[in-house]
Amino acid sequence: MKVGFIGLGRMGQNMARRLLEAGHDVTGYNRTYEKAAALAPAGAEIVRSIADAAAAREVTITMLGADDDLAQVMEGPAGLVAAMPAGAIHLGMGTHSVAMSRRAATMHADAGQIYVAAPVLGRPDAAAAGQLGILTGGPPDAVETCRPLFAAMGRRCFDAGEAPEAAASMKLANNFVLGCAIEVMGEAFSLVRRYGVRPDTLYDMLTDGIFDCIGYKVYGDIIAKEDWDRVGMTASLGLKDANLALAAAEAAGVPLPSANVWRDRLIGAIARGDGERDWAVVAREQARASGLE
């Protein structure tokens, strides 16, 4: 397929590389040109504008970090909506708010185009291995058109239905559960450290039993080793997602009391200068609150 790819950061680079390896024709754009240029040896055509990335493409993928970034890419005479052909699909694979997902769908519909929300589950290493989980929300025919792309990038798709905001809510729910799990692990590690238990001993116990799963293994290991610079997602992006989850919950009238604890811990970590470290650094904040640092 002819694919445009906008947003070639840690995740986007690996996702675009998987598409190239699967034989798709990829045109790439990134705000920082040098990041995109790294894909040229793999066969990507690297361009210097959003319009050039999307023109004559069947599908244009965005992998962007925030709602404002997506809005800036989409809007204006040089933006994505203006550049995409009629009937083309915009595949939004970043983590965005429910409100932004609705807005994107409306903008494209007004222009005779299609928006499919397809946020992903997984860290950069999962993207490199083509093992992402992909949550889909959009018209069934458009989702089906994108199946070959999903097959190149992911291990499984989870269908949220026809509304893009439904897929957005699933991604926010996932990050809410994972963020709270990381927060709880930080509390547990602080508790046993106070009683002289080595962090690696607690890690082995947790991951050899009921918590034998990727989330606890990956983030428990980061916490046990205090390896805050093994970055999959930063604390700053974690705070963005916490705020999006709370906004979605408020709009739907759903209380999320645990999210406030998680959010406050992220704010503390960012205030201490740890915003660009992995979001598991909230465990360091818990250790500080417990007098362990």
Could you tell me the residue range of the domain that residue 149 belongs to?
2-161
Among 161, 182, 207, where does a domain finish? Answer: 161
Q: How far is the C-alpha of 38 from the C-alpha of 91, rounded, in Å?
A: 22
Same domain assignment for residues 196 and 56: no
Same domain assignment for residues 89 and 175: no
What average pLDDT is seen over the chain?
96
The order of strands in the sheet holding 59-62 is 45-46, 25-29, 2-6, 59-62, 89-92, 114-117
pLDDT score for 135:
98
pLDDT bucket at 211, cuts 50 / 70 / 90: very high
Structural domains of the chain, count: 2
pLDDT score for 293:
81
Among 112, 130, 161, where does a domain finish? Answer: 161
Same domain assignment for residues 35 and 180: no
Same domain assignment for residues 227 and 146: no
171 catalytically annotated = yes
Same domain assignment for residues 139 and 75: yes
Model pLDDT for residues 182-204, shown as the tens digit of each residue: 999 999 999 999 999 999 999 99
What are φ and ψ of residue 49, in 5° steps?
-145, 155
pLDDT score for 214:
92
Same domain assignment for residues 282 and 157: no
The answer to whether residue 260 scores a pLDDT higher than 90 is yes
pLDDT bucket at 92, cuts 50 / 70 / 90: very high
Task: Confirm if 280 and 219 have CB atoms less than 8 A apart.
Answer: yes
Same domain assignment for residues 148 and 188: no
Model pLDDT for residues 99-116, shown as the tens digit of each residue: 999 999 999 999 999 999
Same domain assignment for residues 31 and 141: yes
Among 138, 161, 184, where does a domain finish? Answer: 161
Q: Whole-prediction pTM value?
A: 0.93
Catalytic-labelled residue, pool 2, 35, 171, 240: 171
Same domain assignment for residues 208 and 277: yes
Average pLDDT (167-180) is 97
pLDDT score for 156:
97
Q: How far is the C-alpha of 123 from the C-alpha of 150, rounded, in Å?
A: 16
Same domain assignment for residues 16 and 154: yes
Task: Confirm if 134 and 128 have CB atoms less than 8 A apart.
Answer: no
Average pLDDT (40-62) is 96
pLDDT bucket at 35, cuts 50 / 70 / 90: confident
Model pLDDT for residues 115-162, shown as the tens digit of each residue: 999 999 999 999 999 999 999 999 999 999 999 999 999 999 999 999
- Domain at 21, CATH number: 3.40.50.720
Same domain assignment for residues 200 and 276: yes
Average pLDDT (61-72) is 96
- Domain at 177, CATH number: 1.10.1040.10
Same domain assignment for residues 183 and 116: no
